[in-house]
Amino acid sequence: MGNGIDDRAVDAQRTERLDWRFKAIPATAHGMTAEEYLGGRPPLDEFGTPLLTLDASALDHNVRLMADWTERAGVRLAPHGKTTMAPALWRRQLDAGAWGVTLANLPQLRVARAFGVRRLLLANALVDPAGLAWIGGQLDTDPDFTFISWVDSVRTAELMDEALRAARVQRAVHVCVELGGPHGRTGARDEETALAVAEAVRKAPSLRLAGLGGYEGALAHDATDEGRAAVDAYLRRLADLHGRLPYETDEPIVTAGGSSYFDQVAEVLSGLDGCEVVLRSGAYIVHDDGFYRQISPFARGADGERFRSAMHGWGRVVSRPEPALALLDTGKRDLPFDEGMPEPQLVCGAGPKAVSGARVTAMNDQHTFLEGGEVAVGDIVRLGLSHPCTAIDKWTLIPVVDDADAERPVVVDLIRTWF
């Protein structure tokens, strides 16, 4: 566990028997373990459709690129694990130097602890008494476990303290005051409220003020000058508030930074004295061919390496009911659609070739409407996708291919998710 996760627990996933529970897996693999099946280097064309895949080289590239960038920027990274909920991918990020793992709710915390993750940041408030008693038990029984959650109101601090003392938790729970913004998500809306929350934490015997947190991505959704200016203004409020908080630890953190504006976070916050700046970017490991392709800091820059999309959808043409319309056997239950429709990229019939003049116009639960393009019933269409968070959560086991651009990709790994 030198990397902050239980390697044995992660490796044990490869001994799980494959069967009907995993919709990606062909019936020919049922009864085998994942390790046994992968030993035969199965080609992707053994798998049915609908299908979601990850690309091994793109995953490796993205992990390395982000690790190198954060090191140069002088910031830490606690990637948001809720994007993938895949301990095998968390391990890649931790092996590359990640400071810890960020999560969003109690069920996700339980998954992380089941796999022995040692440093967890909950980018949310935890006021559930049963959940607080459980996390307190984790702290009391594991001296190597570090946990930090958020508070954004005096009432939150009071409820946490009441529940922790009622559960007789021995170790204090470390918390960050959360600063929000107008029309954003959670977080104290002004500095005076944030200071009052900090004072409430100081008075709570079961809590320790360990840092300051926030999320700039709730205040902008594009890379326009106006959106970036709103992010900068918010980050400067965070920087100012940092200097006013009475931290109760020698190593406080200031944490912000999703996958859209982490360059601005580093620029504004990395020079702060007396703290570690921790980014929480999560989508970067998978990236996409939609929203993040457009807004990622590396996509906005003129030079240098960029993230590569590591995910693709695959759907088979099952109907050509009209001359310009094809229906694929994949839909909203299989692929994301909340940040843009899938993008037709390749058609695999006699051999892979680029799709020209085709676009996805709509999706139903189990069908995708493809207009234009030269496709025939039986052809498989590879789709570029937008938003990894709502792609991966639809699959419990995801094939990883050696090269999604190859004429006949080979499956080299199977990634287990726990949503």
Q: Are residues 91 and 152 in the same domain?
A: yes
Is 230 in the same domain as 329? no
Residue 303: per-residue pLDDT: 67
**Average pLDDT in the 361-377 region?**
96
Cα separation, 249 vs 262, in Å, equals 25
Residue 149 covered by a domain: yes
Mean pLDDT (the chain, rounded) = 96
Examine the domain organization and report whether 259 and 359 are in the same domain: no
3-state secondary structure of 149: strand
Residue 153 lies in a domain: yes
Q: What pLDDT score was predicted for residue 222?
A: 92
CB of 272 closer than 8 Å to CB of 239: yes
For residue 174, list its beta bridge partners: 148, 208
CATH code, domain with 267: 3.20.20.10
Q: What's the pTM value of the predicted model, to 2 decimals?
A: 0.96
> Which residue, 215, 246, 281, sits at the end of a domain?
281
pLDDT surpasses 80 at 350 = no
Cis peptide before 26 (omega within 30 of 0): no
For residue 396, pLDDT over 80 is answered with yes
Same-domain pairing of 88 and 150: yes
Domain range for 366: 7-55+307-416
In a domain, 40, yes or no: yes
Instruction: Indicate whether 270 and 327 sit together in one domain.
Output: no
| Contact (Cβ atoms closer than 8 angstroms) between residue 277 and residue 335 | no
Antiparallel, parallel or unpaired: β 411-416 and 397-401: antiparallel
Does residue 112 share a domain with residue 15? no
pLDDT tens, 149-189? 999 999 999 999 999 999 999 999 999 999 999 888 999 99
Report the candidate in 252, 241, 147, 161 with the shortest Cα–Cα distance to residue 201: 161
pLDDT at 415 over 70: yes
Type of residue at 382: R
Same domain, 51 and 88: no
Q: Are residues 48 and 159 in the same domain?
A: no
Residue 92, in any domain of the structure: yes
Quote the CA–CA distance of 92 and 338 in Å, as a whole number: 27
Least confident of 99-103, 200-204, 313-317, 405-409: 405-409
Cα–Cα dist 29/18, whole Å: 6
User: Which pLDDT value is given to residue 20?
Assistant: 97
Q: How many residues does the structure list for the chain?
A: 419
What DSSP string runs through 248-303? SSSS-EEEE--SSSHHHHHHHHTT-TTSEEEE---GGGT--SSHHHHHSHHHHSSS
Domain with residue 375: its CATH number is 2.40.37.20
Residue 2 forms part of a structural domain: no
Burial class of residue 17 in the structure, from the number of CB atoms within 10 Å of its CB (0-12 exposed, 13-18 middle, 19+ buried): middle
The answer to whether residue 359 scores a pLDDT higher than 70 is yes
pLDDT of residue 302: 58
- 96 and 167 belong to one structural domain: yes
| Angle (deg, nearest 10), helices 106-114 and 129-141 | 20
**159 and 243 part of one domain:** yes
Mean per-residue pLDDT, 127-156? 98
- pLDDT tens digits for 218-247? 999 899 999 999 999 999 999 999 999 999
Say yes or no: 332 and 373 in one domain. yes
Q: Are residues 336 and 198 in the same domain?
A: no
Asked, for residue 297, whether it belongs to a domain, the answer is no
* Portion of the chain with pLDDT greater than 90, in percent: 93
Q: Which of 281, 298, 322 is the last residue of a domain?
A: 281
DSSP conformational letter for 2: T
Q: Which residue has the tokens 């700046």?
A: 277
Q: Is residue 68, in this structure, part of any structural domain at all?
A: no
Angle at CA of residue 301, ends 299 and 305, nearest 5° = 70
Number of helices followed by number of strands (H, E) in the chain: 13, 18
Q: What is the pLDDT of residue 3?
A: 83
Give the pLDDT mean for 104-118.
98
Number of domains in the chain: 2
Dihedral of CA 286/217/150/202: which sign?
positive
Cα 411 to its chain centre, rounded Å, is 23
Residue 66 is assigned to a structural domain of this protein: no
pLDDT digits (tens, 9 = 90+) for 284-343: 999 999 999 999 999 876 568 999 999 999 999 999 999 999 999 999 999 999 999 999
> Model confidence over 255-292: pLDDT tens digits?
999 999 999 999 999 999 999 999 999 999 999 999 99
Cα 316 to its chain centre, rounded Å, is 28
Q: Crossing angle, helix 191-203 and helix 154-166, to 10 degrees?
A: 20
